[in-house]
Amino acid sequence: MKIFKLFLMGTLAAAAMVSCTCGKGLPVPQEQLEECVYLGDKTEFAVWAPDAQAAQLRLYRSASDEAAFKTVDMKLGKGGLWKATVKEDVKGAFYTFQVQKDGKWLDETAGIAAKAVGVNGTRGAVIDWTETDPEGWAEDKSPEIKPSDIIVYEMHHRDFSIHETSGVSNKGKYLALTEEGTKNPDGLATGIDHLKELGVTYVQLLPSTDFITVDEAHLENNQYNWGYDPYNYNAVEGSYSTDPFNPVTRIKEFKQMIQALHKAGFRVILDVVYNHTTDASKTGFQRTMPGYFYRMREDGTFFDGSGCGNETASEQEMFRKYMIESLEWWMKEYHIDGYRFDLMAIHDIETMNIISERLHAIDPDVVIYGEGWAAQAPAYPAEEIALKANTYMLDRIGAFSDNIRDAVRGPLGCENAGFMDGVAGNKENIEFGIAGGVEHPQVTVERWTNSPLQHVSYVSCHDDHCLRDRLEEATKATEQERLRMVKLAQTAVYTSQGIPFIFAGEELYRHKQGVKNSYNQPDSINAIDWTYKTKYNDLVKYYAELAAIRHAHPGFCLGDADLVREKLQFIEVDDPCVVAFRISGLEGIDSAKSLTVVLNGSKKNVKVEIPQGNYVVLAQNAYADADGFGAYSGNYCAAAATSATILAEM
| Positions marked catalytic | 342, 371
337, with CB counted inside 10 A (0-12, 13-18, 19+), is buried
Q: How far apart are CA 465 and CA 471, in angstroms?
A: 9
Q: How far apart are CA 511 and CA 524, in angstroms?
A: 10
Name the percent of the chain in helix, strand, coil, to the closest 5: 30, 20, 50
Q: Where are the beta strands (DSSP E) in 17-79?
A: 36-38, 43-48, 54-60, 70-73, 75-76
- Is the Cβ–Cβ distance between 397 and 454 less than 8 Å? yes
Residues 6 or more apart whose Cβ sits within 8 Å of residue 28: 79, 80, 317, 318, 321
16, with CB counted inside 10 A (0-12, 13-18, 19+), is exposed
3-class secondary-structure state, position 407? helix
Q: How far apart are CA 6 and CA 307, in angstroms?
A: 10
Q: How many CB atoms lie within 10 A of CB 54?
A: 16
The values of phi and psi at residue 577, to 5°, are -115, 25
End-to-end, the C-alpha distance of the chain in Å comes to 44
418 DSSP 8-state letter: G
Which of 418, 372, 457 lies closest to 642 in space, CA to CA? 418
Q: How far apart are CA 337 and CA 359, in angstroms?
A: 10
The values of phi and psi at residue 508, to 5°, are -95, 5
Q: How far apart are CA 179 and CA 212, in angstroms?
A: 28
Q: How far apart are CA 540 and CA 177, in angstroms?
A: 19
- The enclosing H or E element of 271 equals strand 267-272
Q: How far apart are CA 191 and CA 171, in angstroms?
A: 10
Which of 560, 539, 454, 546 lies closest to 492 in space, CA to CA? 546
